[in-house]
């Protein structure tokens, strides 16, 4: 007796109940008005100035935060690779430890640090430095997003870098490559699969981090996630919220397809 259908049944039911059916409901709402009649107005609403502004801001914020995460991750990953097994495991444990704490609590703690009378400005005053009024700004939102998603980027890149044979790096150095050349011509190309995975795990959720924007941005800046959340929870316009969600989902799928294609090409390429 083939037990595969029996074993896969719970997973298929889970996917059907919590992915497929909700997705179909969202699509149904996206292409109908409040009376149930077919319409494209909910889709075309993305091109209204307020929605387009939020979308552009979301892409800009996600791009900047992703780049910052990449720049912070590689030095940390290279340092981890030099550590022994014990030091490496402890550092990774410290890195993922905040992820065990509730997401909202972490943001509230960060808000207390970045507030005008918070820990950061108290420390700057103690050093005799001018205060940094970063609370309720775009910079605060960016700091929050980087703080939330940096571990995902680090772990994704680390998994790829850890698989690189040390003999390859030593061979590059024996051939006269300096540290920068080894990084750019050996480590970076071989770690591209992990890098692309990290980009997906950071860029995509960064666009919809409406809770981060609400808490650290003071509601002054709206990501596309904030707009969608307001349509569902405040104005109760599920049709418009669903239309914006579908547009965002298509954008995400295109981004993930592009990333997957690049990852396949990189796997087939050689070190240049």
Examine residue 66 and state whether it is found in any structural domain, yes or no: yes
pLDDT at 267 exceeding the cut of 60? no
Examine residue 201 and state whether it is found in any structural domain, yes or no: yes
Examine residue 19 and state whether it is found in any structural domain, yes or no: no
Examine residue 40 and state whether it is found in any structural domain, yes or no: no
C-alpha 232: how far from its chain's center? 23
Instruction: Please state, in angstroms and rounded to a whole number, the distance separating the CA atoms of residues 172 and 184.
Output: 11
Helices (H), the chain: 4-15, 21-30, 41-44, 49-82, 85-96, 103-114, 119-126, 138-162, 166-174, 179-182, 188-190, 192-206, 210-216, 224-233, 238-268
Instruction: Please state, in angstroms and rounded to a whole number, the distance separating the CA atoms of residues 49 and 12.
Output: 41
Examine residue 261 and state whether it is found in any structural domain, yes or no: yes
Mean pLDDT, rounded, for 22-38 = 94
Residue-range definition of the domain harbouring residue 92: 45-268
Domain count, the chain: 1
For residue 263, which of 146, 156, 180, 150 has the smallest C-alpha distance?
A: 156
Examine residue 39 and state whether it is found in any structural domain, yes or no: no
pLDDT at 1 exceeding the cut of 60? no
Model confidence over 174-189: pLDDT tens digits? 888 888 888 888 889 8
Examine residue 58 and state whether it is found in any structural domain, yes or no: yes
CATH classification at residue 243: 1.10.3720.10
Examine residue 7 and state whether it is found in any structural domain, yes or no: no
Alpha-carbon torsion angle 139, 124, 115, 71, nearest 10: 30
């Amino acid at each position: 007796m083939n037990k595969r259908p029996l074993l896969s049944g719970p997973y298929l039911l889970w996917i059907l109940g919590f992915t497929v059916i909700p997705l179909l409901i969202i699509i149904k709402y996206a292409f109908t008005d409040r009376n149930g009649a077919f319409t494209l107005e909910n889709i075309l609403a993305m091109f209204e100035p307020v929605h387009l502004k939020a979308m552009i801001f979301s892409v800009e914020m996600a791009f900047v935060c992703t780049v910052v995460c990449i720049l912070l991750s590689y030095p940390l990953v290279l340092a981890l690779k030099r550590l022994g097994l014990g030091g490496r495991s402890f550092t990774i444990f410290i890195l993922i430890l905040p992820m065990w704490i509730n997401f909202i609590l972490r943001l509230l703690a960060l808000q207390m640090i970045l507030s005008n009378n918070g820990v950061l400005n108290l420390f700057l005053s103690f050093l005799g430095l001018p205060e940094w009024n970063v609370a309720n700004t775009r910079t605060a939102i960016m700091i929050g997003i980087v703080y939330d998603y940096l571990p995902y980027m680090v772990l994704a890149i680390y998994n790829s870098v850890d698989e690189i044979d040390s003999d390859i790096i030593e061979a590059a150095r024996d051939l006269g490559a300096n540290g920068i050349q080894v990084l750019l011509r050996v480590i970076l190309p071989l770690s591209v699969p992990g890098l692309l995975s990290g980009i997906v795990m950071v860029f995509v959720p960064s666009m919809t981090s409406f809770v981060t924007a609400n808490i650290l941005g003071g509601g002054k800046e709206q990501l596309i996630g904030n707009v969608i959340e307001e349509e569902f929870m405040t104005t109760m316009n599920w049709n418009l919220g669903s239309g914006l969600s579908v547009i965002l989902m298509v954008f995400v799928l295109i981004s993930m397809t592009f990333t997957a294609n690049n990852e396949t090409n990189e796997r087939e390429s050689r070190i240049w």
